[in-house]
Chain A
Amino acid sequence: SQKIEQNSEALNIQEGKTATLTCNYTNYSPAYLQWYRQDPGRGPVFLLLIRENEKEKRKERLKVTFDTTLKQSLFHITASQPADSATYLCALFSGNTPLVFGKGTRLSVIA
């Protein structure tokens, strides 16, 4: 069956460190993968998109990698700040299915 797994439900990290979140998938051939931020009681906010033929994408302190052999994406936040505390969702689009979300990882950045 098809699965998207974000391995950690929750991740605590010290301010200033790099947070690394993982998204693994099985039985998908995604055309692209997206990362969203979701704050409590709010809608997801788009952060980054990476296509199947791209290895890495960056945006300010954010970096996403995509390894289609490992079926994995890593999402990094460098120099993390308490304001980065939120739930981060990965989502896949495979061309013949709607956007499918993982359950998310709740990141807490501790000052």
Chain B
Amino acid sequence: EPEVTQTPSHQVTQMGQEVILRCVPISNHLYFYWYRQILGQKVEFLVSFYNNEISEKSEIFDDQFSVERPDGSNFTLKIRSTKLEDSAMYFCASIERGGRYEQYFGPGTRLTVT
């Protein structure tokens, strides 16, 4: 069964450094998402992406964050200057097409900012 993959599974970085989290959505999916989950907290929406542009973003997704789909398969989340409070699990998700609402999540990247 096709699945969303994410790399790395765990990233440790120092405060102020840039990180790029990578995702490969399911190949025929058209809508892409990033979520984060701070330990013990809710899954929180960050950004949605469709047709090579951001369609929606949350208040969390400030100027430090950016997303890109550099080729036909990868979908990346960049954090320019990490803060301690960026430590969380980051999940990528995708939806096949409009009108289908079940989201397929990747296994996540655990980001630890020290």
The answer, yes or no, to whether B108 is at the interface (CB within 8 Å) is: yes
A38→B101 CA distance, assembly (Å): 18
Q: Are B102 and A99 in contact, CB atoms less than 8 angstroms apart?
A: no
Q: Are A43 and B105 in contact, CB atoms less than 8 angstroms apart?
A: yes
A43→B41 CA distance, assembly (Å): 13
Q: Which chain B residues border A38 with CB–CB below 8 Å?
A: 43
Interface string of B25-36 (1 = CB under 8 A from A): 000000001000
Report the tally of A-B residue pairs with Cβ distances under 8 A: 48
Q: Which chain B residues border A45 with CB–CB below 8 Å?
A: 105
| Among B41, B58, B93, B108, contact of A103 (Cβ-Cβ < 8 Å) | B41
| Closest A residue by C-beta to B105 | A43
Asked, given contacts A41-B108, A42-B107, whether A103 binds B101 with beta carbons under 8 Å apart, the answer is no
The answer, yes or no, to whether A32 is at the interface (CB within 8 Å) is: yes
| Closest A residue by C-beta to B55 | A98
The answer, yes or no, to whether A93 is at the interface (CB within 8 Å) is: yes
The answer, yes or no, to whether A44 is at the interface (CB within 8 Å) is: yes
Q: What is the distance, in angstroms, from A38's C-beta to the closest C-beta of chain B?
A: 8
Tally of chain B residues near chain A (CB < 8 A) = 22
Main secondary structure of the interface of A (DSSP, over half): strand
Q: Are A32 and B105 in contact, CB atoms less than 8 angstroms apart?
A: no
Q: Are A46 and B45 in contact, CB atoms less than 8 angstroms apart?
A: no
A46→B33 CA distance, assembly (Å): 15
Which of chain B's residues 74-114 have a Cβ closer than 8 Å to chain A? 89, 91, 93, 101-108, 110
Q: Are A43 and B42 in contact, CB atoms less than 8 angstroms apart?
A: no
How large, as a class, is the contact surface on chain A?
Answer: 20 to 34
Q: Are B104 and A101 in contact, CB atoms less than 8 angstroms apart?
A: no
The answer, yes or no, to whether A49 is at the interface (CB within 8 Å) is: yes
Q: Are A43 and B48 in contact, CB atoms less than 8 angstroms apart?
A: no
The answer, yes or no, to whether B68 is at the interface (CB within 8 Å) is: no
The answer, yes or no, to whether B18 is at the interface (CB within 8 Å) is: no
Q: Chain A: residues with CB nearer than 8 A to chain B? A: 32, 34, 36, 38, 41-46, 49, 89, 91, 93, 98-104
Q: Chain B: residues with CB nearer than 8 A to chain A? A: 4, 33, 41-45, 48, 56, 58, 89, 91, 93, 101-108, 110
Q: Enumerate the 9 nearest inter-chain pairs by beta-carbon distance, A residue then B residue, closest first.
A: A43-B105, A98-B45, A46-B102, A101-B43, A43-B91, A103-B42, A44-B105, A101-B42, A43-B108
